[in-house]
């Protein structure tokens, strides 16, 4: 059977500081924000390309049929 280790007050305070510091740290939040921005930009770009691609195809087809 294992013996349980009791935490002394200085160790408890160190753990509290660690948890509080991890909550305040913002490095991971920056990465998540960049990922969300990239996803939004990609959705806009893909949507725009699909819209322009369809319209451009219609225009080129119209011009090609009027030239013939």
Count CA within 13 A, CB hemisphere, residue 27.
3
First to last CA, the chain: 91
Q: What is the pLDDT at residue 37?
A: 93
Taking alpha carbons only, the member of 3, 2, 19, 22 closest to residue 11 is 19
pLDDT digits (tens), the chain, 68 positions:
555 555 556 666 677 777 777 667 666 667 778 889 999 999 999 988 888 887 888 888 888 888 86
pTM higher than 0.75 = no
């Amino acid at each position: 059977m294992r013996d349980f280790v009791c935490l002394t007050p200085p160790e408890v305070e160190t753990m509290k500081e660690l948890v509080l510091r991890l909550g305040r740290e913002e490095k991971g939040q920056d990465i998540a924000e960049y990922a969300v921005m990239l996803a939004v930009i990609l959705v806009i770009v893909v949507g725009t390309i699909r819209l322009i691609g369809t319209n451009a195809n219609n225009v080129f087809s119209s011009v090609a049929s009027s030239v013939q």
